[in-house]
Structure 1
Amino acid sequence: MEIYLIRHTAPAIESGICYGNSDIDVADTFEEEVAAIRTKLPQGNFDVYSSPLQRCSKLATALFGEAVTTDARLKEMDFGNWEMQPWEAIDRKELDDWANDFVLAKVPGGESYEQLYTRSMELITELMEKDKDAVLVTHGGVIRSILAHATNTALADSFDLKIQYGRISHLHVENEDIKVIFIIRNTMVIYTLC
């Protein structure tokens, strides 16, 4: 079974703003980014799932047409009270408390990284049970958490996994073993979790 994880294209938001669950539109570079992603798309018959947030659903529709299933479990982390606030405007103590244990600590009014991981892996488990090739168009946090699981990387260390906009990651599932294959500077790297 093959699962492809595609991160959305660049969002239409200035840098320095905290956003996750906010429904940000795509940047003006969307069409060029879609064209670049299209050249790297896998061939085959896939079930396509997308975050309902428009930066993902627009990409999923542009790449695969209307046969896309949206699933809220593919949304980016909910930053609660911090959504759409400049990072520098967020209460320093709140930010420090969260940063000291961002895996388990909930953002005020939002969720923890562990909660994002749990919902992401719930969907992956369901897909593995279906045993049908799938494409997931989603966000960096979701992809990072899934790759952390598949590479046996602690969630606290998973931000070392760089997931650029438009990046395609490839999971191969066989006998409940997950292999993660992705391209880094033309070098294929294969991680195996047995």
Structure 2
Amino acid sequence: MDKIVVPGEKIGAIEEYIGLNGTYEDSDGNVRSKYFGILSLNREKHEALVIRIRKPVLIEVGDEVVGRIFNISGVFGYVRLEVKNGKPLDRSFIGILYPPRAVREIKNVYNVGDYILAKVVSLKNRAIHLSIAGKKYGVIRAFCRVCGSILIKKINGILKCHKCGNIERRKISIHYDKEWGKIYGY
């Protein structure tokens, strides 16, 4: 008999079933579900297991992520991640972005509001560490500091606002505004 169970739902007593993957025993001697999933009971062997319906999305070293910088502290950018390996994320993750080299002014590398394509380089200390080193990675969409319009790519990292004419510099990706839909997961 297969049915859908929720975390904490009673499956049976420990005298009835041996709890396998996706189950746990509570202090009252009951086998309960660990996950939202499908309950599979083997009545001959008296075994119960729960198969997760949806695995949690985890960020791993080597993943390519797209996110928007929401804060800068010193040279570090704090990024709200929105896409992992071309697929939209269903929950919120925050990453820490490091400049690809020593810089005098971080505003010439990235700015608050910029969308970036980055690579996850570490998960040390329970933080997601991001890098934009290399031609593929960097800012993929930037906005004018003066009027907020989208900046148009010129040459050598120079971006120009088509509305007010403001010129800015960023560490831009080779994908800057080219494949926005593909990178962003649409």
Please identify which structure carries the higher strand content. 2
TM-score (norm 2): 0.22
Larger radius of gyration: 2
TM-score (norm 1): 0.22
